[in-house]
């Protein structure tokens, strides 16, 4: 008696979505594309309308996030570090699948991303102390200066390292109370989706951090022109392209921090822990008070 044949099964193909306003959504344009070496997995390709939705969400969230007490922001980012640590095995798997890294390299990057998130979380209630000051003036007044956030920051993660890069691009502006729209690595976006899942699990307020997958050359000029974007934070952009973005962003005085692509050693060194990444997206508020004579 012949054995019954096993029924044929169709492959369940995955199309990863964008992360906007605390939810995973399809691109408004319905576009998606595969990434080389990712076994047929597809990623949403964000459009200009997706960008506008993400910026609008970040602008709406800015009031609550910027006014939250600094320890509350620190607790939120600490929960993000906890979520990353709890999903460490998944992060390693995504890194290996997306960039063909071996187990050791993927584990090293996942650990660095967790540690860096935790390091920045600890600065939420301390960075203002470092950046604040008191200055006497030639009048019967004393000036008190302290940093305040700019608003919505558009961040661009480098292609490599994909996970540590998105942490370095997106987390520092959050420390100061900015909200962020980040464009993930084009070469290995899978780890950015894992990062977005951790953001959702950590319970960051909706719109505080929005994550787009797509093409930087298509999205970046619209970020530079958008009137509700207050700053650009980019890693590893081509020199002429970065210069053109800065020129366009100058029309409405956007703050730009264009970081040349660090070497692999620099990514994993202590130099990557830089408070300047936080202070770059603050402005100084000065209060004059009569001096007690």
Residue 201 CB partners (closer than 8 Å, separation 6+): 83, 86, 87
pLDDT tens digits, one per residue of 40-64: 788 999 999 999 999 999 999 999 9
| Domains annotated on the chain, with CATH | 17-290 (3.40.605.10)
Is the pLDDT confidence value at 13 over 80? Answer: no
Is the pLDDT confidence value at 1 over 90? Answer: no
Average the pLDDT over 197-206 and give the result: 95
pLDDT tens digits, one per residue of 209-243: 999 999 999 999 999 999 999 999 999 899 999 99
Q: Residue 2: its pLDDT value, please?
A: 58
CA gap 206, 61 in Å, rounded: 7
Q: Residue 14: its pLDDT value, please?
A: 79
Contact present, 186 and 159 (Cβ < 8 Å)? yes
Answer with the residue of higher pLDDT: 37 or 282.
Answer: 282
CA 147 to chain centre: 20
CA gap 190, 37 in Å, rounded: 11
pLDDT tens digits, one per residue of 101-148: 788 999 999 999 999 999 999 999 999 988 888 877 778 888 888 899
Q: Residue 150: its pLDDT value, please?
A: 96
Report the predicted TM-score, pTM, of the whole model to 2 decimal places: 0.91
CA gap 88, 78 in Å, rounded: 15
CA gap 140, 10 in Å, rounded: 79
Gyration radius of the chain's alpha carbons = 21
Q: Residue 38: its pLDDT value, please?
A: 59
Q: Residue 86: its pLDDT value, please?
A: 96
161 upstream amide cis, omega within 30 of 0? yes
Of the candidates 193, 150, 201, 190, the one whose C-alpha atom is nearest the C-alpha of residue 172 is: 150
Is the pLDDT confidence value at 192 over 70? Answer: yes
């Amino acid at each position: 008696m012949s054995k019954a044949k096993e029924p044929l099964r169709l492959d369940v193909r995955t199309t990863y979505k964008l992360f906007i306003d605390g939810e995973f959504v399809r691109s408004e344009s319905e576009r998606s594309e595969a990434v080389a070496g990712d076994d047929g997995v597809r990623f949403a390709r964000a459009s200009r309308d997706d960008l506008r939705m993400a910026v609008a969400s970040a602008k709406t969230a800015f009031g609550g996030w910027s006014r939250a007490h600094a320890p509350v922001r620190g607790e939120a980012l600490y929960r993000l570090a906890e979520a990353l640590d709890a999903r460490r095995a998944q992060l390693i798997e995504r890194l290996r699948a997306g960039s063909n890294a071996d187990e050791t390299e993927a584990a090293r990057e996942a650990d660095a991303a967790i540690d860096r998130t935790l390091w920045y979380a600890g600065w939420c209630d301390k960075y203002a102390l470092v950046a604040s000051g008191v200055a006497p003036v030639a009048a019967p007044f004393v000036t008190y200066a302290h940093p305040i956030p700019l608003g919505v920051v558009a961040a661009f993660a480098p292609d490599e390292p994909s996970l540590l890069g998105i942490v370095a691009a997106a987390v520092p502006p959050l420390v100061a109370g900015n909200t962020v729209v980040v464009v993930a690595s084009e070469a290995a976006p899978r780890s950015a989706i894992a990062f977005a899942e951790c953001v959702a699990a950590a319970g960051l307020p909706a719109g505080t951090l929005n994550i787009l997958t797509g093409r930087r050359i298509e999205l970046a000029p619209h970020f530079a022109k958008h009137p509700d974007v207050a700053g650009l934070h980019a890693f590893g952009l081509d020199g002429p392209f970065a210069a053109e973005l800065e020129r366009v962003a100058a029309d409405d005085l956007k703050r730009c921090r264009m970081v040349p692509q660090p070497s692999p050693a620099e990514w994993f060194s202590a130099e990557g822990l830089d408070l300047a990444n936080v202070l770059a997206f603050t402005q100084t508020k000065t209060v004059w008070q009569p001096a007690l004579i």
